Structure 1
Amino acid sequence: MGRLTTHVLDAAHGCPGSALKIELYRVEGAQLELLASVETNHDGRCDAPVLQGDDYRSGVYQLHFHAGDYYRARGVVLPEPAFLDVVVLRFGIDAAQEHYHVPLLISPYSYSTYRGS
């Protein structure tokens, strides 16, 4: 059965992005439906898949990574408004039986992602 997982790496500090809030939305036209709100663990991962079971199906999704709040909690002084406050990744799932892994590598001024395994 398919599932969606993610993890966060903090490139600025060279460590996992722990205690970072992530929200998952399903995109239906111009509407966003909140499906999950999770926080990363000490290893920058979620303790369970962000999406699985009956809710996991083909479609367009968005992950919202609250990077600004994460860096503020670490004591990093950010400009206001922060350059990267919430990193939004919009992606598609076309094979609902497969595992999709969407990692995020962040710093206060950049990010990178890819479809992982």
Structure 2
Amino acid sequence: MTPSHITTHVLDTGTGRPAQGITAQLSAQSATGWDPVAAGTTDADGRIRSLGPEQVDPGTYRITFATGEYFGSTGTGTFFPEVTLTFSVTSTEHYHVPLLLSPFAYSTYRGS
């Protein structure tokens, strides 16, 4: 299996465990708005390894995570019904976009 150009993983920092079962939508910015590229759901390790094609064109992309559904499934309230991370793709190298998540805070970084 060829890896996706863009991958992600989610860590539930409130529990210290991978966040399994979060759906995520990858979209590309176009002249008319946001065009869906791919979607996936985090696995038992909190990862989506096949989020999109092997290669995407340079541009602005976003991943929208359904965090409210995830916390709802665990019986946990949350301030964020979804988290959207917007980023620029400028080269052919791999882009890993992780999400560190708790019910009332989140952070991200450019992963490897």
TM-score by length of 2: 0.91
What root-mean-square deviation, in Å, do the aligned CA atoms of Structure 1 and Structure 2 show? Answer: 1.6
User: Could you say which residue in structure 2 is the equivalent of 1:83?
Assistant: 79
Q: Is the 8 A contact 1:102 1:113 kept in 2?
A: yes
Paired with 1:53 and 1:90, the residues of 2 have a C-alpha distance of 19
Q: Which residue identity does 2:23 align to in structure 1? A: K
Paired with 1:29 and 1:84, the residues of 2 have a C-alpha distance of 28
Q: 1:13: how far off?
A: 1.0
The answer to whether structure 1 residue 4 and structure 2 residue 6 are counterparts is yes
Percent identical among aligned pairs is 37
Unaligned runs of 5+ in 1: none
Map 1:3-82 onto structure 2 (within 5 A). 3-29=5-31, 31-46=33-48, 48-54=49-55, 56-76=56-76, 78=77, 82=78
**SS, match of residue 97 in structure 2:** strand
Alpha-carbon spacing, 1:100–1:92, altered in 2? closer, same or farther (3 Å):
same
Unaligned runs of 5+ in 2: none
Paired with 2:32 and 2:84, the residues of 1 have a C-alpha distance of 15
Paired with 2:25 and 2:72, the residues of 1 have a C-alpha distance of 18
**SS, match of residue 47 in structure 2:** coil
TM-score by length of 1: 0.87
> Which runs of at least 4 in structure 1 moved beyond 3 Å after TM superposition?
none
Alpha-carbon spacing, 1:2–1:57, altered in 2? closer, same or farther (3 Å):
farther
Paired with 1:51 and 1:36, the residues of 2 have a C-alpha distance of 5
Q: Which residue identity does 1:31 align to in structure 2? A: G
